Chain A
Amino acid sequence: MTMQIADSVSLSAPDAKARAHAAAARDNLRTEPRAVRITIIALAMIFLSVFVVLPLVIVFAQAFSKGILAFFAALAEPEALAAIKLTLLVAAISVGLNLVFGLVAAWAIAKFEFQGKTFLITLIDLPFSVSPVISGLVFVLLFGAQGYFGGWLRDHDIQILFAVPGIALATTFVTFPFVARALIPLMQEQGTQEEEAAVSLGASGLQTFFRVTLPNIKWGVLYGVLLCNARAMGEFGAVSVVSGHIRGETNTMPLLVEILYNEYQFVAAFAIASLLAMLALITLIAKTVLERHLDEGHDASDH
């Protein structure tokens, strides 16, 4: 049968057929012509290169533009060291506070039903969508000389604004959502069954928390802390409003970048900036690794 067909058509026919099949097959329903694909990939790569890769590269290029010695000399300046110290201190305070706040908030939202829950979630998100300058402003309005608590603070000789407490407060406010945001979906997904089981087996509230709840969310906690820390160290707008820019005292690293840059000390400004950029890159790498852990946890709970 097939023999007859093969005999009855010319020799070139199978070739033509194969070509027609190949052409029809290329017309896949779920992708685009090759030229379109290449254009889209090229557009995406060029856009990301210009707007993201180049700015990153230029930070390091400028930091090392006068050689490696100038770079380290800039970092060894007392002003730079003071800024680094202050940044680490502020980050430690705000990460610590937000770890507690975030755990409590996520716990309350994920495990309990109560009125005003949606409102609370919106509230937690708020610092994300408010201009950092406004976040700083509200603290000035509260604790500033003309602020609501300004007089009381002056009477008791407590300095909040233009000092470390103000910077820490503003940073905590701005980074508030990170830990809670990372934990809420995780805790919601895990539900309350395991905890109820633990309680029914006689565990106390704290035992339940440390032995059952926490191990389940440890990667999520780490994820939230990581992002919280990155933002805390890098926060500029809010801190700029409340810090008072006292050199060597209330300048964090980002604020010092601004001051040095405005004084045309480019190498020094970019040296500090490159440290912050490194922090961002390390955060991104750690984030990718953590996301893989979180995905695995997710898969494991699926099966």
Chain B
Amino acid sequence: MTIEVRNLVKKFGGFAALDGVGLKVNDGELLALLGPSGSGKTTLLRIIAGLDWPDAGEVSFNGEDALAQGARERHVGFVFQHYALFRHMTVFENVAFGLRVQPRAIRKDEATIRVRVKELLDLVQLDWLSDRYPSQLSGGQRQRIALARALAIEPRILLLDEPFGALDAKVRKELRKWLRSLHHEINVTSIFVTHDQEEALEVANRVVVMDKGRIEQIGSPDDVYERPASAFVHGFIGESIELPVQVEGGVVRLGDQPLRLAADGLAPGASRLFVRRHDMLVGPSGSGAFEGAVQHVRNFGPVQRAEIALSGGETIEIDAPRGRELRAGDTIGLEPRRYRIFAG
């Protein structure tokens, strides 16, 4: 199943939750919608599911207009952030729900339903819990039951809203790997929403980075990390150093100091320079694009994190490998191994 979203606009009062969003999801893909809270990612997911309706724009599944169908007809599996399990039903009945409410004409008989539910509980490795109530399960177990319940209707698309958001860090890591392998097994086109970049980069085939109701970048995890398309993406993903610079006549300036950095193809004017912390290479004073004085050093296992006062007046933090020990008071040169300059 492919999903295509064109020009979606959704306003809540004066606030534009989605401001012209377009996206194509390929068959069998596992896509992450990544962004800070309020970026519109959950709204986009809910519109695809049919739980919300856009003010303008189109959504199609395999080229068919999806907006002409209500949520019931779309056959979309939706896993809610807080699971939304039916607490008066056992785990078994929760998973069986989607099968039991089918129209009589196509509803399967009780034996078939039992077999199917058993399969799903096996798939999420929780068949031993089938007689429990949701209140008797741990967060991670509830999450997996919610997933099994969504899969029971053999959804054409699987949508997950912050699937690991309510879990503690350890369970979260385990479930990430599990979700990836599960997706590999069932191979249903899936989209999940997250605000956790590590989660998105680790689990998804492709990542959609959103901010303020717009898509900032769509790409593979490598793309968005190594080749951020915008200042927002660079700042949001990974730990970055951000410096306000001026581009003028092929020269990049920090304050009134020209930096020895290539400025080819950059528009003149106020710009922002982004460098990953670990991409700042330390050299002797006089080498590299920047000069600075080490203020403070802390050691984090294999790296030393140093606070450096640049000669332009800015203070930055860099991660340097151990070996060449930095000391407070040292004057050093810094050369960005990789950097990006964005206008504005």
Q: A residues touching B (Cβ–Cβ < 8 Å)?
A: 2, 17, 20-21, 23-25, 27, 29
Contact A24–B51 (Cβ < 8 Å): no
Alpha-carbon separation in the docked complex, A20 to B53 (Å): 12
Nearest A residue to B51 via CB reads: A29
- A17: contacting residue among B51, B68, B69, B70, CB under 8 A: B68
- A21: contacting residue among B6, B51, B68, CB under 8 A: B68
Knowing A25-B53, A29-B51, the reply to whether A17 touches B71 (Cβ < 8 A) is no
By a CB distance below 8 angstroms, the chain A residues around B71 are 29
Alpha-carbon separation in the docked complex, A2 to B4 (Å): 13
B67 within 8 A of A: yes
Which 6 interchain pairs have the tightest Cβ spacing?
A: A20-B68, A27-B70, A25-B53, A21-B67, A24-B70, A24-B68
Contact B70–A21 (Cβ < 8 Å): no
By a CB distance below 8 angstroms, the chain A residues around B69 are 24
Smallest CB–CB gap between A12 and chain B, Å?
15
Alpha-carbon separation in the docked complex, A20 to B71 (Å): 14
By a CB distance below 8 angstroms, the chain A residues around B72 are 27, 29
Alpha-carbon separation in the docked complex, A21 to B6 (Å): 15
By a CB distance below 8 angstroms, the chain A residues around B67 are 20-21, 24-25
Q: B residues touching A (Cβ–Cβ < 8 Å)?
A: 6, 50-51, 53, 65, 67-72
How many A-B pairs fall under 8 Å by CB?
Answer: 24
Alpha-carbon separation in the docked complex, A24 to B53 (Å): 9
What are 18 A-B pairs with beta-carbon distances under 8 A?
Answer: A2-B6, A17-B65, A20-B65, A20-B67, A20-B68, A21-B53, A21-B67, A21-B68, A23-B68, A24-B50, A24-B53, A24-B67, A24-B69, A24-B70, A25-B67, A27-B70, A29-B70, A29-B71
Alpha-carbon separation in the docked complex, A119 to B266 (Å): 80
Nearest A residue to B65 via CB reads: A17
Most buried by B among A20, A24, A25, A27: A24
Alpha-carbon separation in the docked complex, A24 to B49 (Å): 12
By a CB distance below 8 angstroms, the chain B residues around A25 are 53, 67
Alpha-carbon separation in the docked complex, A25 to B6 (Å): 18
Given A25-B53, A29-B51, 12 other A-B contacts at CB below 8 A?
A2-B6, A20-B65, A20-B67, A20-B68, A21-B67, A21-B68, A23-B68, A24-B50, A24-B53, A24-B70, A25-B67, A27-B72
By a CB distance below 8 angstroms, the chain B residues around A27 are 70, 72
Smallest CB–CB gap between A122 and chain B, Å?
26
By a CB distance below 8 angstroms, the chain A residues around B70 are 24, 27, 29
By a CB distance below 8 angstroms, the chain A residues around B53 are 21, 24-25
By a CB distance below 8 angstroms, the chain B residues around A29 are 51, 70-72
Smallest CB–CB gap between A33 and chain B, Å?
13
Smallest CB–CB gap between B77 and chain A, Å?
15
Nearest B residue to A19 via CB reads: B68
Alpha-carbon separation in the docked complex, A23 to B51 (Å): 14
Alpha-carbon separation in the docked complex, A76 to B68 (Å): 72
By a CB distance below 8 angstroms, the chain A residues around B65 are 17, 20
Alpha-carbon separation in the docked complex, A29 to B80 (Å): 15
Nearest B residue to A27 via CB reads: B70
Nearest B residue to A23 via CB reads: B68
Nearest B residue to A30 via CB reads: B51
Alpha-carbon separation in the docked complex, A23 to B65 (Å): 13
Most buried by B among A2, A21, A23, A27: A21
Alpha-carbon separation in the docked complex, A21 to B71 (Å): 12
Smallest CB–CB gap between A23 and chain B, Å?
8
Smallest CB–CB gap between A8 and chain B, Å?
13
By a CB distance below 8 angstroms, the chain A residues around B50 are 24
Alpha-carbon separation in the docked complex, A40 to B72 (Å): 24
Nearest A residue to B59 via CB reads: A21
Nearest A residue to B50 via CB reads: A24
Alpha-carbon separation in the docked complex, A29 to B68 (Å): 15
Alpha-carbon separation in the docked complex, A29 to B65 (Å): 19
Smallest CB–CB gap between B159 and chain A, Å?
15
Smallest CB–CB gap between A18 and chain B, Å?
10
Nearest B residue to A25 via CB reads: B53
Alpha-carbon separation in the docked complex, A29 to B76 (Å): 14
By a CB distance below 8 angstroms, the chain A residues around B68 are 17, 20-21, 23-24
Smallest CB–CB gap between A43 and chain B, Å?
27
Nearest A residue to B49 via CB reads: A29
By a CB distance below 8 angstroms, the chain B residues around A2 are 6
Alpha-carbon separation in the docked complex, A2 to B50 (Å): 23
Alpha-carbon separation in the docked complex, A25 to B65 (Å): 13
Alpha-carbon separation in the docked complex, A17 to B51 (Å): 19
Nearest B residue to A24 via CB reads: B70
Nearest A residue to B66 via CB reads: A24
Nearest B residue to A22 via CB reads: B53
Alpha-carbon separation in the docked complex, A2 to B65 (Å): 15
Nearest A residue to B71 via CB reads: A29
By a CB distance below 8 angstroms, the chain B residues around A24 are 50, 53, 67-70
Alpha-carbon separation in the docked complex, A17 to B65 (Å): 9
Alpha-carbon separation in the docked complex, A27 to B71 (Å): 9
Smallest CB–CB gap between B101 and chain A, Å?
13
Alpha-carbon separation in the docked complex, A145 to B51 (Å): 72
Alpha-carbon separation in the docked complex, A25 to B70 (Å): 7
Alpha-carbon separation in the docked complex, A272 to B189 (Å): 74
Alpha-carbon separation in the docked complex, A302 to B6 (Å): 43
